[in-house]
Chains A and B, each alone.
Chain A
Amino acid sequence: MKLPRAVRALPTMLRIGVAETVAYRGEFLVWMLTTSMPLVMLGLWTKVAEEQPFRGYTAESFVAYYLSNLIVRNLTGSWVAWQVSEDIRLGSMSMRLLRPIHPMVAYAASHLAAVPFRTAIALPIAAILLVSSGASALTTEPLQLALLVPSLVMGWMITFCVLFAIGSLAFFIMRAMALLNVYFGLFSLFSGYLLPIPLLPGPIRAAAEVLPFRFMLSAPVELMTRHLDGDQLAALLAGQIAWTLASLWIALAVFRRGVRRFEAVGG
């Protein structure tokens, strides 16, 4: 009964999401522009690699890596943690709980509605990537390219679920947003956002292989920029599927426990 209802409400929720994104277009654009770290790293590492290739990375492979990084981050990034924690703090979560649709579905719909806008920003970057020197370092394997879309979808799912869980922590603690800073630090380190994972020092690289962060960002980027053999490809996708399921379960569990002790401040 619940699922069909959610499906029926989906077009309306998407329309609301589009309207929200259009209303806050200024904020949206600025928010997108602040993900400029890959560009800084791009400038730096291409200069370094021009002097002489850095541990097998040429200037071209750095251009391809960081521009792909920027595209994936633009498509999969999420601000759901802010929304959820604000809704809890200010009490408007009660209204969402009253609706006959799980709040997580509603948030997800409003984020899905932003996908066309995100694509509009990602497309010019992709165009620059294709005409830049980085194009020569992109993969041409048909299988890897075919897997790119599912990989992006799973990356989006994991990011959304993890951030939803962090936002839901506002049910339990006052300073959930301080945790978001910690999250972003860990994310920059382990996801390949700051540096390609193969360049990280040994122990950090070993941790990055198993933590969820790699599967949010690095996985699609690797599909675009690296040649992966059969085993590597299978491991990458298995990791993504496992973390998609695990993060979904964690997000729902944290939210369910939180709602039980929700006191509806304000209202």
Chain B
Amino acid sequence: MLRYLKLLAVQMRISVASGMAYRADFLIEGVTSLAWMALTLLPYYVLFADRASVADWDAASGLIVIAYFLGIRGVLEGVVSPSFVDLVERIRSGAFDYVLLKPVDAQAIVSASRFEPWKIFDLLGAIALIIYAFAKKGHAPAGVDIVLGILLFVAGVLAMYALWMLCAAASFWVVRLDNLTYLLGAIFDTGRWPVHVFPRAWRLVFTFVIPIAVMTTYPAMALLGLLDAKATLATIGGALALLVISRLIWRAAIRSYTSASS
């Protein structure tokens, strides 16, 4: 275990070092990240300027869903996506052979092979948004709800990671599948809205087929103290189940890996 943590630290250090090489990007990324946040918030502003609530979500509670969305997207674009791009490239070029030869689990290497350090701004922005939302509500969340909110954020990150890992596994069979992540990214965008504001059929899809709701809506409800114990356990259980499934499919995919080179 210690070995894996060391490995993670090394990979992170390399990414930060190469990130520092492009310091000007720091400013560009910061500005772009703020601009995208403003754009994300605009439909909310338009909607809640006219309405007190939609499907029982008021403006402040909706902001918390957005905060979770920004947080998960920060992890996605900061760790999962860059590593995924790296992996697809390795499979295509045959360099994946070397990963398999290393005396550690291949999944551990490929899932965190590259970082975008500047994406930390998205996480900070998300936290700021949560503080603002609760200031607007006029009360702080209860201690137990904070714990649940953090726990479900982790579950959401795991569910998202598992979903992307399934795509990664698929790229062993169909090489040009990085396109699929664009599609997944587009679907993930719906997570900025509470799942309840969508028509019923969409709600079922986003909860059970592509569990976007598990990543943003339910954690936000937990932080607000609106999620009952059963739903909390189901959310965490669902995320873990997805993780196990993606692990199994990944193992099967590795077995059918036929190197591209040599």
A residues in contact (CB < 8 Å) with B: 26-27, 30-31, 33-37, 40-41, 43-44, 46-48, 51, 54-55, 178, 181-182, 185, 188-189, 194-195, 199-201, 204
Contacts and interface: CB of A to CB of B under 8 A. Distances in A.
Given A34-B183, A44-B197, 10 more contacts: A36-B187, A40-B189, A46-B199, A47-B198, A47-B199, A51-B54, A54-B51, A55-B50, A194-B39, A201-B42
A195 B41 CA distance: 12
Contacts of A27: 176, 179
Given A43-B202, A194-B43, A34 B182 contact: yes
B261 to A, nearest CB: 22
B190 A40 contact: yes
B35 A43 contact: no
Contacts of A37: 186, 189
B43 A195 contact: yes
B197 A48 contact: yes
B19 to A, nearest CB: 15
B153 interface: no
B18 interface: no
Contacts of B142: none
A200 B46 contact: yes
A43 B42 contact: no
B226 interface: no
Contacts, number: 75
Contact of A44 (B35, B39, B187, B193): B193
A197 to B, nearest CB: 12
Interface of B: 28, 32, 35-36, 39, 42-43, 45-47, 49-51, 54-55, 176, 179-180, 182-183, 185-187, 189-190, 193, 197-199, 202
Nearest to B200: A47
A55 B224 CA distance: 30
A178 B180 contact: no
A188 B198 CA distance: 21
Contact of A26 (B43, B46, B176): B176
B199 A48 contact: no
- Residue of B35, B46, B49, B187 contacting most chain A CB atoms (<10 Å): B46
Contacts of A200: 42, 46
Contacts of A48: 47, 51, 54, 197
Nearest to A189: B39
A188 B186 CA distance: 14
B176 A194 contact: no
A200 B43 CA distance: 9
A185 B39 contact: yes
Contacts of B193: 40, 44
Nearest to B54: A48
The 10 A-B residue pairs with the shortest CB-CB distance, nearest first, are A34-B186, A30-B179, A43-B198, A36-B186, A40-B190, A34-B182, A43-B202, A44-B197, A30-B183, A48-B54
A47 B55 contact: yes
B86 to A, nearest CB: 18
A261 to B, nearest CB: 21
Contacts of B187: 36
Contacts of B189: 36-37, 40
A194 B192 CA distance: 14
Contacts of B197: 43-44, 47-48
B179 A26 contact: yes
Contacts of B182: 30-31, 34
A188 B199 CA distance: 23
A79 B43 CA distance: 26
Nearest to A36: B186
Contacts of A201: 42, 45-46, 49
Nearest to B29: A178
A217 B186 CA distance: 20
Contacts of A188: 39
A43 B42 CA distance: 17
Contacts of A44: 43, 193, 197-198
